[in-house]
A and B are shown apart, each in its own frame.
Chain A
């Protein structure tokens, strides 16, 4: 930029507008590309700001051994220092050994202290005694909620803030347990698609074996997210991006996206709006909370 003074940050002249892009193409993943350095800086600033504003100095993170919690813990360590982050391994009896190994690998690499609390007795104390024959799906939800019971209690004990690990893909597809994974009051990955989580995790040094393994809720041996969903994350994320940017499903199909996969994604998206909201309250007054009485979270 000629004629400008020395020492100033540089803003490129290139025309750049996030609101404008070329027509969507199933082969063009560029709309999902991120500047990993910039995003890392942004999320670290966010964590420092939000945790400080809420008057906490420490955080607790549930470590599953997966990429989301590994990235979250790494960001927390960068924002606050290793001493301020405590990782909790919360296995159920069906959890894989590999998950535990990966959680410890991440924690050791980041210098994060961990504690392991097995939730099997708590889950089975209810499931086996009162609901024998409970489906895996229901048991998975009970386990997810039990993990949050433990995480919030440990947070209270340690005077720490629980940090969530859910990504944007899971949130949009409704692929999470309501009032479990989505419960922590701050969630640094909540506006990153899964492929962006992978990209950022690689860039900031989450061990490759954690990043490259298939995403799994680790409820049933060998189960993967992508088999469950019926579409892989790269395809789902791109379709979600374009649907949310205003492209109707029929136009995406005309542009070459697989109609069956669009359908899978759209049905999950449109069938789970309720999961992205607080409970529905019948409005009786013109002071109804969140309808008429509107105050931001940091007010």
Chain B
């Protein structure tokens, strides 16, 4: 099976969902003109508003159903593909779900038979340094793979991917492609790499995910300055052997198309069956879960040696 994937390094119109959707519609037009036509198009995290909204998130949150409706309204007039080859879109947005606000990514099928394939709600909400997500949105609680028209995918949003457990869960659930819509502000301008330090770190994290689990990984970044915090881009796709398949340029909007041969996954896993090893070992490991930094005692305190028994 082969997948024609497109990733869009995208500059949202700050705090303006309709204007951002209009920009997305222009991307749809370009995608329909691409050869071969992409099966899936991936936008970044918070693509409809920009990332730093603080208390404004609720004013711009929408349901996944409403977003699907708007995306399809914008997509259909310019759609030029046969009905049996719909476009699947992944896009990050602030989601209103059961009266709560989440930082979510929607995967939806557009076309004559539109459908929501999956919604991932960001689990790990960065709330340190420049980030304040947990103050403004609620965390999701699950990481799942899901079926698409071409195979099985999973979505992680930005910091989700920094926790190796997240991609492990996605891979164990059968993901062949892990999609990572992201919004990573630049920091680290030391001499050496020639790109901001966060771009180098992202690269290392994503490559490790691809290599460890034998999966394709596509990370897509937003672009532009938001109140002095700048998003430089650096979107990238890795293959299951850890090779970079495509990179968007820094500083610029970009729409990149590529053809992924999903058979490369089994080739990588035959050579290095780490995922199978993990599956075999996992039940035993879970029988003896780690005790955590506080010794696994909900309210207790132990001497730092850990050998002194209960403190009284």
Contacts and interface: CB of A to CB of B under 8 A. Distances in A.
A joins B in a complex: yes
Q: Which of A3, A11, A46 has the most CB of B within 10 A?
A: A11
A134 interface: no
A50 B227 CA distance: 8
Given A38-B194, A294-B55, A299 B189 contact: no
10 contacts: A11-B193, A12-B193, A17-B201, A18-B190, A38-B194, A42-B196, A42-B232, A294-B54, A296-B226, A299-B14
A247 B293 CA distance: 23
Contact of A34 (B189, B203, B204): B189
A3 B242 CA distance: 10
Interface in B163-203: 186-201, 203
Contact of A11 (B191, B195, B241): B195
Given A16-B200, A34-B191, A38-B195, A295 B55 contact: yes
A226 interface: no
Contacts of B224: 49
Nearest to B11: A49
Q: Which of B187, B191, B230 has the most CB of A within 10 A?
A: B191
Contact of B196 (A3, A38, A296, A299): A38
B260 interface: no
A18 B188 contact: yes
Contact of B52 (A8, A14, A33, A296): A296
Contacts of A292: 55
B196 A9 contact: no
B227 A296 contact: yes
Nearest to A32: B190
Interface of A: 1, 3-5, 8-12, 14-18, 33-35, 37-39, 41-42, 45-46, 49-50, 53, 292-299
Contacts of B191: 33-35
Interface in B97-127: none
Contacts of B232: 42
Contact of A33 (B190, B204, B226, B234): B190
Contact of A16 (B186, B193, B234): B193
Interface stretch (B29-37, B70-78, B245-253, B262-270): B245-253
B200 A11 contact: yes
Nearest to A17: B201
Contacts of B27: none
B3 interface: no
A46 B194 CA distance: 18
Given A3-B243, A11-B200, A41-B251, 16 more contacts: A5-B245, A9-B250, A35-B193, A46-B225, A46-B230, A49-B224, A293-B55, A295-B55, A296-B54, A296-B227, A297-B227, A298-B14, A298-B52, A298-B226, A299-B15, A299-B56
B227 A16 contact: no
B228 A46 contact: yes
Contacts of A3: 241, 243
Contacts of B236: 11
B62 interface: no
Contacts of B274: none
A14 B193 contact: yes
Contacts of A15: 204
Contacts of B193: 11-12, 14, 16, 35
A288 B195 CA distance: 40
Contacts of A38: 189, 194-196
Interface string B37-71: 00000000000001011111000000000000000
B80 to A, nearest CB: 28
Given A11-B199, A18-B197, A38-B196, A295 B56 contact: yes
Please give me the 3 A-B residue pairs with the lowest Cβ-Cβ distance, nearest first.
Answer: A18-B188, A18-B197, A294-B54
A290 to B, nearest CB: 10
Nearest to B200: A16
